[in-house]
Amino acid sequence: MNIKTVALTKEQYQTIIQTMKQGFTGCRPNERIATVLTLEANLGLRISDIIHLRLADIVKDGDRYRLSIVEQKTKKARNFTVPLALYQYIRCYCLDHGIPSEAIIFPLSERAIQKQLKLVCDYLGYQGISTHSFRKFYATEIYKDSGYNIALVQQLLQHSSAAVTQRYIGIQQQEIEKAIEGHLMLDV
């Protein structure tokens, strides 16, 4: 059975990360996978790119930090600013865990991450959530925070068209429903 991956709500995101960090009966805390998912939700990268990430991929460029990678799936070069707070979060994680800057930060498989995420989601009663839900969460939040700028989200995700991005974050149905609701003319 193939369930369509959904974007997370802020509440689901926070609950999943918190539960992953704290653990629950039958499941130990897993800070490493919680950190992987946090980065996916804050960088908008695919999980395949997160698990190949090295601290050395983030370089100081004047007064900001830039991430420069080649995406695993598309083989496209990707170069963008990483907020200082996020860089510090990654750097502290590496320091706390003795990870050298040239080493892969998360030597994990996508399958191991997905398996742990499924355990947490089953425990929480969430359905349709996979690692990709965190990238969709990023896209949806950027879309809302930017005043619904679909072109910006398209560029950030490196999609080929705005139509692809619209389908990706599922806004067509939301906009249709909103338009129908907003058009009601009951009191004449």
- Write down how long the chain is: 188
Q: Where are the extended beta strands (E) located within 15-84?
A: 58-61, 64-70, 77-82
C-alpha to C-alpha distance for 88 and 108, rounded to whole angstroms: 22
Centre a 10 Å sphere on the Cβ of residue 132 and count the other Cβ atoms it contains.
16
C-alpha to C-alpha distance for 114 and 46, rounded to whole angstroms: 13
> pLDDT tier at 1 (50, 70, 90 boundaries)?
very low
- Tens-place pLDDT, residues 41-71: 999 999 999 999 999 999 999 999 999 898 9
List C-alpha distances in Å: 173 to 9, 168, 177, 178.
17, 11, 6, 9
Domains of the chain: 10-183 (1.10.443.10)
Instruction: Look up the pTM and report it.
Output: 0.87
- Tens-place pLDDT, residues 111-157: 999 999 999 999 999 999 999 999 999 999 999 899 889 999 999 99
Q: Could you tell me if 126 and 134 are in contact, meaning their C-beta atoms sit under 8 angstroms apart?
A: no
